[in-house]
Amino acid sequence: MTFSRIAGTGGYLPERVMTNEEFESLVETSDEWIRERTGIKRRHVAAEDETTSDMALAAARRAIDAAGVTTSDVDLIVLATTTPDKVFPSSACLVQRQLDIHDCPAFDVHAACSGFIYALDIADRFIRTGGAACALVIGAETYSRIIDWNDRGTCVLFGDGAGAIVLQASDEPGIYSAHSHADGQFAELLHVPQGISTGYDVVRAEAAFIQMKGNEVFRKAVGTLGAIARETIAGNGIEKKDINWLVPHQANLRIIKAAAKKLELPMERVVVTVDEHANTSSASIPLALDVAVRDGRIKRGELLLFEAFGAGFTWGSALVRY
Ligand code: UT7
C-alpha cells in the first residue's frame, strides 16, 4: 500500500514588516486592542512588485532543498491561494515555469483559509492512487492587495507569505487522513464581493476588498474546529493525548487557545505564529509547520494535527506523522 509523507518544508515571508503601531495612524485602533483581541503583534507585507507566485516559488525552493529532491522529481504542483497573480493561468503554472518543470499537472485550489488542507487532501489522494510520487503542495497569499485599509475591523488582521511542503510516496504513513468540508450558506459572512463574472465596478471600490462579520465568523470557527478535531481523532482510533503538536490555521490567538483547550493540549504543544505573521490564509499552516520544523520543535516521528477554518465556509483537518 502506498501512503504519502512530508519529505521537506519551506517558507517565505516578505521583507517588509508592518507593526500594529503603524495602523494607529491609518484607522482608530491601538496596539493594545489588536494584541488583546487577536494576539497579533506584526505582519509581513509584500513589496509592490512581489506576487503570490514569487512567494510560492521561494517557499517551494526551500521545501525542495529540505526534502533532498530535485525539481525533476516533482510530478504534481498544487497551490492553494485566493489571491492569484492573474485570472489565468494558475499561479501553480507560473511556479512550474520558474522551476523549469514541464508536463506534470499544476493547478490552484481556492478554499480560502482552508486551502492548504484541501491541497494536501488532493495531493495525498494523487499519491495514494499512483497518480504522483512527489508533489509540491503550497499555500501562498497576498492579502494586502484585498485589504480595505480604512476598515479597522479587517485591515489589522492579515499578512502576506507562503509555505510549502514536498509530499512523497512512502510505504509508511505520513498522512493518516485528511478531511475537507464546506457549507456555502455562510458565503456572505466573510467574502470579497467583487469577482470576474459579477463584473468589475470602480464605483463600488469597497466590493474589491475583504468584508467580514468578525464576531459571527469567530463563533462558528470555534465550534466547527472542535467538531473537526473530534472527527479526526475518532476516525483514526487515537486519543487526544497521542497528539504531539497542534498546527492550526492562524486567524486569532483566542480561536487557537479555544481549540487547544478542547484538545486538552497545553499551549506549549501548539505552534503559534499569528503574533508574527497575522492571518496569511492558506499560507498559515505550512508557514507555521516550517517555523516549528526549522527551530527544532517538531521532530521526525511526531504526530501532528492540522486544522483550518475560513471563507465559504470551508474547514478541514489532517492527522500527520511527520
Ligand atoms: O481566517 C478566516 C477566519 N477568520 C476568522 O476566524 C476571524 C474571526 N473573527 C475574529 O477574529 C474577531 O471577531 C475579530 C478580531 C475580527 C474581532 O474581535 P471581536 O472581539 O469579535 O470584536 P467585535 O467584532 O465584537 O468588535 C468589538 C468592538 C466593536 O466596537 P463597538 O461596536 O463595541 O463599539 C468594534 O467596532 O471592537 C471594535 N473594533 C476595533 N477596535 C479597535 C473592531 N476592530 C477594531 C480595531 N481596533 N482594529
Instruction: Please give the number of the atom of ligand 1 that sits closest to the Cα of 154.
Output: 16
Q: How confident is the model at residue 270 (pLDDT cuts 50, 70, 90)?
A: very high
- The overall average pLDDT reported for the chain is 97
Domain-wise residue ranges, the chain: 3-171, 176-321
Q: Is the CB of 111 under 6 A from ligand 1?
A: no
* Per-residue pLDDT reduced to its tens digit, 71-119: 999 999 999 999 999 999 999 999 999 999 999 999 999 999 999 999 9
d(CA 59, CA 247): 18
Q: Is the CB of 89 under 6 A from ligand 1?
A: no
What is the architecture, at CATH level 2, of domain 3-171? 3-Layer(aba) Sandwich (3.40)
Instruction: Please give the number of the atom of ligand 1 that sits closest to the Cα of 23.
Output: 48
Sign, CA torsion 277/278/282/284 = positive
d(CA 31, CA 21): 6
Q: Is 226 helix (H, G, I), strand (E, B) or coil?
A: helix
Q: Which residues are catalytic?
A: 113, 249, 279
- Considering only CA atoms, which residue is closest to atom 18 of ligand 1? 37
Asked if residue 201 has pLDDT above 80, the reply is no
Three cell numbers, residue 21: 503601531
HSE-up of residue 76 (Cα within 13 Å, Cβ side): 22
What is the architecture, at CATH level 2, of domain 176-321? 3-Layer(aba) Sandwich (3.40)
- Considering only CA atoms, which residue is closest to atom 38 of ligand 1? 153
**DSSP alpha helix (H) spans, the chain:** 20-23, 31-38, 52-67, 91-98, 115-128, 152-155, 214-235, 253-262, 274-277, 284-294
**153 CA to centre of ligand 1 in angstroms:** 5
Q: Is the CB of 218 under 6 A from ligand 1?
A: yes
Task: Provide, rounded to the nearest whole percent, the portion of the chain with pLDDT above 90.
Answer: 96
What is the β-pairing status of strands 303-310 and 314-321?
A: antiparallel
